[in-house]
Homo-oligomer: A and B are copies of this chain.
């Protein structure tokens, strides 16, 4: 997979990178760069500003500044898939244009998510307006289907229409529905046309790869990157089902908590860096009891984050 990733840098495993904040709730660029560098060292790509990045709690200016920081730090934009979909057309265009100019391998684009019950025609127009206004042949859009959070679904019909109209631009989808039947339908209908399907959790990584999928984009790749990337690289080996079971055990622990504060608590603990605990409202950090419980349960499944404490220095 590593070899393949050099030619197909968006394939494999990506993580919606958690965003560190300082005590005044400002993004912390130095910690952000360090965590991104560590993820890349574990063969995990950078889906910065995703749901689990608290990406929707950042302003457009904050996202642009953080993305510039990563590129200036020498991290490869080809391995970046920033989230650029917002409620307002102008913000989505500005972010998407900026990411594309920087050479990002793609962007992960939520539909505008405030208004609910939209028609496919309305969502088609949303994406179409962005594509035309960005007006850059390098743009590669990964559609972001996350109905449990955004409450605005990306239907198969919408994908079909967008792919037909913008075949060079519509590059794939992250399916965070948690509904394997839906992921499978996307894989069957669109992956053969080079449209890359990423389930939004490593729980579906092995079945997705077996059905031709491109990898996965998963919150827990922030904390368990190498084991997930290893399955993506070796899924045709005999121990693949055992590997998948190991990933599921770790994910199961994190899913017992609110995901974002739990991810940050793990990074704070295993990286020995308490400043990572901070989240922006409306989220609340785990309390000391929850953190101790989390670590105990992770230790029980032999969880480690190798190299993190070193990377954090």
Task: List residues of chain A with CB under 8 Å of any chain B CB.
Answer: 25, 51, 56-62, 86-91, 111-116, 118-119, 121-123, 125-126, 128-129, 148-152, 280-284
Please give the distance in Å from A55's CB to the nearest CB on chain B.
9
When all copies of this chain in the complex are counted, the total is 2
Do the beta carbons of B283 and A56 come within 8 Å of each other?
A: no
Do the beta carbons of B126 and A281 come within 8 Å of each other?
A: yes
Assembly CA distance A151 to B91 (angstroms): 22
Please give the distance in Å from A15's CB to the nearest CB on chain B.
18
Q: Which residues of B contact A91 (CB under 8 A)?
A: 59
| A115 in complex: contacting residue of B56, B61, B111, B125, CB < 8 Å | B56
Q: Which residues of B contact A280 (CB under 8 A)?
A: 89
Do the beta carbons of B282 and A25 come within 8 Å of each other?
A: no
Assembly CA distance A111 to B57 (angstroms): 11
| A89 in complex: contacting residue of B25, B111, B114, B122, CB < 8 Å | B25
Q: Which residues of B contact A282 (CB under 8 A)?
A: 111-112, 115, 118-119, 122-123, 125-126, 152
Do the beta carbons of A121 and B87 come within 8 Å of each other?
A: no
Do the beta carbons of A283 and B118 come within 8 Å of each other?
A: yes
| A88 in complex: contacting residue of B58, B113, B115, B149, CB < 8 Å | B58
Q: Which residues of B contact A283 (CB under 8 A)?
A: 115, 118, 122
Assembly CA distance A249 to B115 (angstroms): 25
Q: Which residues of B contact A57 (CB under 8 A)?
A: 87-89, 112, 114-115
Do the beta carbons of B150 and A284 come within 8 Å of each other?
A: no
Q: Which residues of B contact A116 (CB under 8 A)?
A: 148-149, 151
Q: Which residues of B contact A122 (CB under 8 A)?
A: 281-284
Known: A25-B89, A90-B61. A114 touches B56 (CB 8 A): yes
Assembly CA distance A151 to B282 (angstroms): 13
| A56 in complex: contacting residue of B58, B88, B118, B284, CB < 8 Å | B88
